[in-house]
Amino acid sequence: MKVKKFLGVFLSLLLLISLFPVSPLAETKSEDLIEVEAAPLDPSIDPMGLKHPISYIDEDVEGKADFIMLYTSEYAKEILVKQFWVAVQVDANNKVTDVVSQSVNGAPPVWEEEQSLAIPEGGYVLLAHDDSWATKNFRKFLATNFKVGDTIKLRKNGNEVPITEFMTGDGLKASINLENELMYTLTKSQADISGSIQNIESDQSYQLLVNGQEVELQEGGSFQYVYELAKGTNYIDVEIYKNDILHDVKSLVVYYQDNPSVEEKEVFLWVEQGPSARRFQSSEDVRNMLLEAKDAGVTAVVLDVKGVEGFASYQKNDLTNRPYVSEMTAEGRSGSNPDLDLLEEFIKHGHELGLEVHASFNVFAEGSIAHNEFAVLNDHPEWEEEVYRSEDNGAILPLRESTYGKSGALVTFVNPSNPEVRDYQLKTFEEVMKNYDVDGVLLDRGRYDNYFADFSDLTKTQFEEFLNKKGKTLTNWPEDIFYYEGSNRVDGPLINEWYTFRSGVINSYVEETRELVDHYNSSENRDIQLSAYVGSWYESYYLNGVNWSSPTFSYDSRLQFPQESLYGEEYRQTAYTDKLDFLMIGTYQTTSQEINKYITLGNILTDGQVPLYAGMALVNVQDPALQREVFQAGLQNTSGLMLFDYSQANFPVIKASIADEEYVKDYVLGISNPIQPESPFVGDFFNVNRNDDNLNVYSDSFGLSTGTNKWGVEAVVDANGKVVKMVNKKQAMNWNWTAVEDNNSLIPEGGFVVSALDRSGAREKRVLVGTNFDIGDEVRSALLKGFLEYEGKTYPTVGFEYQGKVQVVGPGEADVQVNGSPATLQSNGEFTAQLALQPGENQIEIVVTVDGFKTHQQTVTVIGEELTFDEVIEFVENATFTNKGIQQAVLAQLESAQKDFASAEKLKEDGLVEQAEEAKASGNQKLEELQLFVQKHAGKHIPEEVAEQLVSYLKSL
């Protein structure tokens, strides 16, 4: 046991040391341990301070995470410290002179704004970043252990060393600042590479190379270069030499492909089973949703026919007897129509509308711990995955018996190595292809749960057989794979074999599915496509036992995958995309830069061998501008999009994003305020799936229920306008979410639901609903439309008519006031108001009440502009007169008056004031006479509405 423990500690130390790469400029070796030592807590007791390893020295932070960096004065004159990062400035005497975002008494810092921090000459700066203050000790180490005035130390392999130990003596380091992203896709054959060299010194010589080709440096160190791309993946190294010594290297990875135009791309809409099944209560519900989707630009639908709970969204289950989704009992999941075959309805209406329908299967997921739903797993407990997790102190347990299964797990997986499991899943695929005219079948969760599964005896036996074929032996189970030191996982000697074995298990299942699909295609003359969904984060997907690359993909170290030793020939043989017709990858990142990076990584990994679709997590890209940007990146750089999922779909925004157009919402959603009646709420969307930072309203035309998740707050209003139910009111008011209530509220017929959700941890909209609404309150809601037609526009100062529309949501009658006067309101909600405008800006206030409850107080700004004679003449020329002679008489009098006013202006310019006044008086008299003339002929030779408009124009001249 002591030997075993020593080996574990030794391996851990080796792993720890391997994490400390340093700059090639520093005189250090890869095995050197570089540390920073804080000032001792009490030198009279212990002269040593706390120490922490340095992760990198004088290196760019790009692509790195979880680190403490050391920057010498050779790297730059200053360093950028981002918000939520921690930095310590140290002078040439090792004295701390500044701390950015310092902790007080160990608490999280009051995070300072982004700033540049000078690197003192002969001193240095320590910079820390990680993604968890609570669980990681990079930022926390600097923030809690360093303060201004402390004298600190640097150590190398335990020995105190000066900062010069890590400096070259060659002066400032020449570093490359690229304007390009480090990984991206192009559909043209040339890459424009540009950037600049930092720390250029006039008395030194520099050479810039791009893949060995010298590039001219412009004055100030900037450069531009056009690189000719080869088809597929291009690795481009940009190097800067100072005095013939290499100072910095940046590597670009550019994927070049020819792609069809955006108009030819496919757009899949994913319909997840759990949140959506009970939304479809009738055949009409399915058709209406598909009509909306097609109008938005969707070309195909992916329907979850087997959800994570194990229930089917189809009823012809003659091979598996899977229970139908209507048998779910969990709150928020129950209530699907037992008489509606969802898959059949999707196929019928989808094909009528020209949409493909692909059936998705959560292959190795067979139960929801979160909802306590297990369609078939309780009848086959031997199928359940057995997990090996640190919380269980070395025990291998079925997931639901493990600590994690009892406290944190959401989904239960079954063992992909189990022959019975595999056969049952294949029969699930088969009964769908046998009984339904699907266009494709798709593997989702066709993987292991994570690195902690499966450690059953059955899997152990299969792994031993796998090793025997390679001449290897399993000695210690499971320690040869990995073991735990506390909560930290430590890899054993067979870790890569384990990853390869599991990936091979999944590969063989995909092959069996391929054979089944091919059988149905050949025997029934069909064209069913086989596809898969995977996460785009391939660099960590090996933990799930999946190698979704192409067998032709060859790993390059410039991709910087963490488990580099894995990607050899044996692992390459487990790649499975050659068995697919197409692949969907979840580019579910939250910034356009990251999404573009992972689209490119997907192109590199699939090597152009199969069509690739970029999956978009709609919940992450609700901002219309961001959604448009990332949708267009996916459409331009892959075969198309997969939108995940319908429960987060905002079809008007999706339509604009696919069409590459700016989205403009044409209504204001108003909600009365029970607490402050004069201050109504402005909602975000009406009858649109709720997402983060949304305050939405749902009427019964949306469907049976809101389809929302459990983390929101909802007020249910009945057909009488009274709040009859509150969901998560106390949780929002007390901000305690340990016992949340399911949302997905039923929408009362004739009523509506007010539903709010914030970003994780944010309180604004949930607290608003929880605080201001209560059971028994009277609440009304309405939509106001038409204001966009007027905002910022210019109109004549007379004869202006404002037109709009109000649509009541739920119960009640609307009343509209415009600038304090009642508007003329029609039964369809359209309203008009006649207004006199002043020259310049005019504020028009529209107040909407429903049953006396204020829902809107909207202000619109319009610009008033005085009419000219030419505009009035044009109006008369285009107006309909019943007598042409009268029309000509009006025009003649107008033109005569116009000449008088023009003459008055000319006389005034010439200084003939008295004559100018006489000409102006003559013009005014002609206009007055013309008004009388028009009024005399109104309703006879001049239509009433034309006469009324014309008189108002004449008064304004």
Say if CB 719 and CB 749 are below 8 A apart: yes
Look at residue 268 and tell me whether its pLDDT is greater than 90. Answer: yes
Question: 368-379: string of b/e by CB count within 10 Å (b at 16+)?
Answer: bbebebbbbbee
Which pair of structure tokens corresponds to residue 468?
């025997």
**CA dist., res. 23 & res. 299, Å (int):** 51
Q: What length is written for the chain?
A: 957
CB 635 within 8 A of CB 642: no
Cis peptide before 645 (omega within 30 of 0): yes
Q: Confidence class of residue 23 from pLDDT cuts 50, 70 and 90? A: very low
For 931, phi and psi rounded to 5 degrees?
Answer: -60, -45
Q: Which residues pair with 53 in a beta bridge?
A: 35
CA dihedral 846, 852, 854, 855 (to 10 degrees): -90
Residue 221 has pLDDT above 90, yes or no: yes
Map tokens 């899997």 to a residue. Answer: 459
The pLDDT tens digits of the residues spanning 471-528 come to 999 999 999 999 999 888 999 999 999 999 999 999 999 999 999 999 999 999 999 9
> CA-to-CA distance for 731 and 878, rounded, in angstroms?
64
Q: Are 90 and 131 in contact (CB under 8 A)?
A: no
Q: Where does the pLDDT of residue 16 fall: very low under 50, low under 70, confident under 90, or very high at 90 and above? A: very low
How confident is residue 259, by pLDDT bands cut at 50, 70 and 90? confident
What does the alpha-carbon distance between residue 658 and residue 267 come to, in Å, rounded to a whole number? 9
The span from the CA of 815 to the CA of 187, in Å, is: 56
Using pLDDT thresholds of 50, 70 and 90, give the confidence band for residue 29. low
> CA 598 to CA 183: how far, in whole Å?
8
The DSSP element (H or E) to which 605 belongs, if any, is helix 592-606
User: Mean per-residue pLDDT for 816-841?
Assistant: 92
Mean pLDDT for the chain overall: 91
pLDDT at 6: 34
| Helix, strand, or coil (residue 664) | coil
State both tokens at 135: 């669980």
For 350-385, write each residue's pLDDT tens digit.
999 999 999 999 999 999 998 899 999 999 999 999
Do the beta carbons of residue 250 and residue 176 sit within 8 Å? yes
CA distances from 509 to 230, 440, 526, 534, 913 (A): 35, 17, 22, 15, 99
User: How many angstroms from the chain centroid is the CA of residue 840?
Assistant: 42
Number of neighbours of residue 593 by Cβ within 10 angstroms = 13
| Residue environment code for 684-702, b if the CB has 16+ CB neighbours within 10 A, otherwise e | bbbbbbbbbebbbbbbbeb
Report how far residue 16's alpha carbon sits from residue 11's, in angstroms, rounded to the nearest whole number.
9
Please report where in the chains the tokens 């310092």 appear, as a residue: 102
The share of the chain scoring above pLDDT 70, in percent, equals 96
Average of per-residue pLDDT across 706-721: 93
Element (H, E) at 115: strand 115-118
Classify burial at 776, counting beta carbons within 10 Å of its beta carbon; exposed 0-12, middle 13-18, buried 19 or more.
exposed
Cβ pair 57, 166 in contact under 8 A: yes
Please tell me the distance from the alpha carbon of residue 63 to that of residue 890, in angstroms, as a whole number. 76
Which position has the higher pLDDT, 760 or 272? 272
3-state helix, strand, coil in the chain (%, to 5): 30, 30, 40
Confidence of residue 578 (pLDDT cuts 50, 70, 90): very high
What the block records as the tokens of 746 is 């039923």
* Range 140-149 average pLDDT: 95
Provide the Cα torsion 382, 384, 386, 389; round to 10°.
-150
**Band of pLDDT at residue 349, cut at 50, 70 and 90:** very high
- Which tokens go with 229? 């791309």
- The arithmetic mean of pLDDT across residues 934-956, rounded, is 86
Q: Cα–Cα distances in Å, from 396 out to 56, 414, 454, 460?
A: 38, 15, 9, 12
pLDDT of residue 483: 95
Higher pLDDT, 860 or 950: 860
Q: What is the DSSP letter of 739?
A: S
Provide φ and ψ at 106, rounded to 5°.
Answer: 80, -5
Q: Rounded distance, CA 562 to CA 63, Å? A: 12
Least confident span in 43-52, 725-734, 900-909: 43-52
As a whole number of angstroms, the distance between CA 774 and CA 18 comes to 58
DSSP-assigned states of every residue in 1-13:
-HHHHHHHHHHHH
Asked whether the predicted pLDDT for residue 74 surpasses 80, the reply is: yes
- What average pLDDT score do residues 860-864 get? 93
Three-class SS state of 690: coil
Please tell me the predicted confidence (pLDDT) of residue 15: 34
Helix locations, 329-402, DSSP H: 342-352
Asked if the model's pLDDT at residue 3 lies above 60, the reply is: no
pLDDT, tens digit (0-9, with 9 covering 90-100), for 864-905 = 887 788 888 988 898 889 888 999 999 999 999 889 989 988
**DSSP label of 413:** E
Q: How much is the pLDDT for 17? A: 32
Q: d(Cα 495, Cα 482) in Å, to the nearest integer?
A: 7
Going from the C-alpha of 583 to that of each of 27, 554, 609, 767, the distances in angstroms are 47, 19, 10, 41
Do you find a cis peptide bond into 666, omega within 30 degrees of 0? no
* pLDDT for res 262: 66
Kind plus residue range of the DSSP H or E element containing 247: strand 245-256
pLDDT attached to residue 831: 96
CA–CA distance, 755 with 766 (Å, rounded to integer):
8
Q: Would you state the pLDDT for residue 260?
A: 67
Look at residue 14 in the predicted model and tell me its pLDDT. 34
Q: Which helix (H) or strand (E) holds 860?
A: strand 853-865
Provide the 8-state DSSP code for 865. Answer: E
Three-class SS of residue 377?
helix
The confidence score (pLDDT) of residue 1 equals 33
Model pLDDT for residues 320-334, shown as the tens digit of each residue: 999 999 999 987 788
3-state secondary structure of 798: coil
- On whether the CB atoms of residues 322 and 662 are closer than 8 A, the answer is no
